[in-house]
Structure 1
């Protein structure tokens, strides 16, 4: 009986994979469903044998190909690979930080590979096309009088350059978003199916490695020394690394507030409300820096 129920669940998750795949062809809806694309693959790969996984996958991709054509296979493959990576690490019971790192690297690596293939095979630079799109939109806005007369072509070039230089940061954040959503949903689904998956420690126990403080200081100092407009490797690295480090320390600051709430027996809503200004205001990331750099929690810990 359990095997029958488990088999039905596998079929349902295969159907979910098909629905999500087909939703990629629906404008606006695909913006929401794209973050869920890996979930069925992770659940199926974790719970099925490799042969059974392939047997469940073939009809999904077959129907997707008949309805959407080649794009269905391209999109499906893109999310399948990190889904398999996550499922494989789940089966090996690896720590969640290892899972996150591996999946994010896989996603970013795939995107970079696709950019390279577009350039080599189709002789199309998507980065150059992005710049051209920004310039075209800017010219249209200027023609319609929606931009100030003070807006010059130099400002447009600066916008293009800043956008292009921020691409690595955007890719990492995309990878983090896809991985976080998949981890959150798949872990709970698998738990209900009797599969134990390691999760993050409670927010009150979050603590970044102390070496992160040194990285933050070094990047901050470099930012003061290097012009953002130089286009050098250091400038691009700083543009991308500093916001990522600030985000990490914002999360650390949120963890600190959850620690305070636990020690002071505050309602759970208090640290959640405190998290809002922390996420919105970059200077508040310094709370996280101080939390990692100094043993300030000892002052608040109950004896």
Structure 2
């Protein structure tokens, strides 16, 4: 991962696929070592350094159901890269009042991230090292659930020496011991995650441009935005009539496009940015990057001029 950060920061071709190693069926790992800790100093002052990981993951996003990024216990450049690349955060904490105070500060950091970058993280706390026999620990967990209502997992990870042993051997608990509290708890956590995902389908979530029966659907998540426009060479980069429609924090617009290759950007409250969910980009002559969209002739609708309309207008 160290070389990946350096090469991408230098504008050199470097793909996450070159780093990934398969360790077992349905599990790939992109390993790192102690050298990665030098990245914050090495990239100090580099514009766009906080987007290196998200840009790298965008190139493999379609190959995996889940991408899990393991972060250090601090909020530095590496953690910020992970937060920019992910949509959810699992925050492990031991049941102590000091940890409860620290979690509050971390959640404030997520709010600052959302405000400054318009990137929202759904963060939930996972209680670990739980020793249920202690009245003190039970009281702390009750306090966590009271203060973080709706922002914590019901599952708790009990203290288990088998978890430490598995880590020391470099194997997951499922391959080390399936008859221990640690394995049972992580199974329960997985079941809780999958159950919650099933209850909230991703149909309404933003995605890279997708072809629909009405045209090309553009979507962007921007909860705090007042106005979002879609501008590209298909509408002469004009903001007139290009405003997107917000639906539960996701801004959408459908554009009828003939076959061809297009450049576009989103304009969020006057700030121009590329599509964060589209890995295909090219430098713009005016600075920054444009997102690239190719409408294939075999599937495009038969329209010569580009006709733009909002999703609500098509209903």
* Same fold per superposition (TM over 0.5): no
The TM-score bracket by the shorter chain reads: under 0.3
Q: Normalised by the size of structure 1, how large is the TM-score?
A: 0.27
With normalisation by structure 2, the TM-score equals: 0.26
Structure with more of its chain in strand, by fraction = 2
**Structure that is richer in helix per residue:** 1
Q: Which has the higher contact order (CA 8 A, sep 6+)?
A: 1
